[in-house]
Amino acid sequence: MDGPVYDIFPRGEASLGLAERGKRALVVTVVLTSLGAFMVGLRFFTRVGLVKLTGREDWMILGSLTLSITYMGFVIAQVQNGLGKHNSEVPEETLEYQLKMLWLAIPFYNMSLGCTKSSILFNLLRVFPNRGLRIACYVVLGVVATYTVWASLSAFLNCIPVQKFWEPETPGYCLNFEALWFFNASVNMVTDLTILILPMPVLSHLQLPKKQKIAIMAVFAVGAVVCLTSILRLASLKEVAVSTDTSYDNVGAAFWTAAEINVGIMCACLPYMRPLIARIFPHFISTNSYHHSYGRKTEGHIEGTRTHRTTNRGTMISVNRDYDMYSINIQPGENHSRSTMSGIEVTTEVAQETKSGDTISERRLVLDP
């Protein structure tokens, strides 16, 4: 069949043998997207199958994964149409199709990142009742939403008319790609760092054993890996933004973009793995240190909490409607409280309790997903 082919799996000459550089982009993107999908699957197994509770942050991360898979499809299409080869080695019309796929992939990348960041912020709103932190989360959420809309629209409309993106000779105007992509990448890194830092002051003041506090802070701090991938992607963006050989130079940007998307998804899923790890390795994660810590009087929050027995029938929980999550079911003046859920059963005797936002956060972080 003569001429270029315009489908996801073209049969033209340029697609018969994938260039090694193109293969690299393909393999890295597929592997990372698969790992992201695996982590989201574990998260939903934990949330739906074990905890039996889902929230808006779960659906946002599912949306992010869907967008990530779509981005992977566009990368596959680019590779099948000569990504990794020099422009001169790819038929003109096939190169145009490759650039069309790049044009479509960029906004899906931006939307996926926006969904991931929103999921993390919704998780912070779920866990922390601290008023100052919640206000900060809503502000950052507004910034993320506004930026995501801007980044997605500017990606679609960075050239007027839009076909000038893949047909440079077309009369019209394009934004400065280098300035636009660097601005968007900078905003991404700033919001990443902000989300990373937001919970740290509250976490540092939790009244928990030192090891538990460090472990919790480490789980939240793992988002620093996303910041690192954003920085590494920035170098590849500069290369492709000024390139006159886009097909050859876009390989690094393609797989670093996939890395940023999917590392973000995996990091957002990590805090939800605790119930699953506790089910698989029941002796690896224990709440005993928490109970021992709160069995003593701690600044008037809880006094005289005692664990009577543990069986394999369920765990004492209640649903906090305000934050749409599980919290410890302790009522003042109530001697014993029981409920069942797959896991363990805990019966507690309470002598005194006074409500405190920090105490609620501590119990959620230690015992809850």
Residue 282 lies in a domain: no
pLDDT grade for 100, boundaries at 50, 70 and 90: very high
pLDDT digit string, tens, across residues 308-322: 333 343 333 333 433
On the CB side of 33, CA atoms within 13 Å amount to 25
Burial degree of 87 (CB within 10 A; 0-12, 13-18, 19+): middle
Domain count for the chain, please give it: 2
The CATH code of the domain that includes 100 is 1.20.1070
What distance in Å separates the CA atoms of residue 195 and residue 211, rounded to the nearest whole number? 23
Determine the residue type at 222. Answer: V
User: Are 152 and 202 found together in one domain?
Assistant: yes
Range of the domain at 118: 13-277
Least confident of 134-143, 150-159, 225-234: 225-234
- Top pLDDT among 121 and 295 is at 121
Task: Name the domain boundary from 277, 306, 321.
Answer: 277
pLDDT digit string, tens, across residues 25-51: 899 999 999 999 999 999 999 998 888
Q: Which residues pair with 279 in a beta bridge?
A: none
Buried b (16+ CB within 10 A) or exposed e, 46-77: bbeebbebebebbebbbbbbbbbbbbbbbbbb
User: Are 257 and 305 found together in one domain?
Assistant: no
Is residue 54 pLDDT above 60, yes or no?
A: yes
Task: Name the domain boundary from 221, 248, 277.
Answer: 277
On the CB side of 367, CA atoms within 13 Å amount to 25
Residue 6 lies in a domain: no
DSSP string covering 248-295, please?
Answer: HHHHHHHHHHHHHHHHHHHHHHGGG-HHHHHHHSTTTS-SHHHHHHHT
Whole-structure pTM over 0.75, yes or no? no
pLDDT grade for 59, boundaries at 50, 70 and 90: very high
Residue 7 lies in a domain: no
- Angle, helices 246-269 vs 224-241, to 10°: value is 170
- Top pLDDT among 150 and 11 is at 150
User: Are 233 and 299 found together in one domain?
Assistant: no
pLDDT digit string, tens, across residues 110-120: 999 999 999 99
Task: Name the domain boundary from 256, 277, 298.
Answer: 277
User: Are 80 and 142 found together in one domain?
Assistant: yes
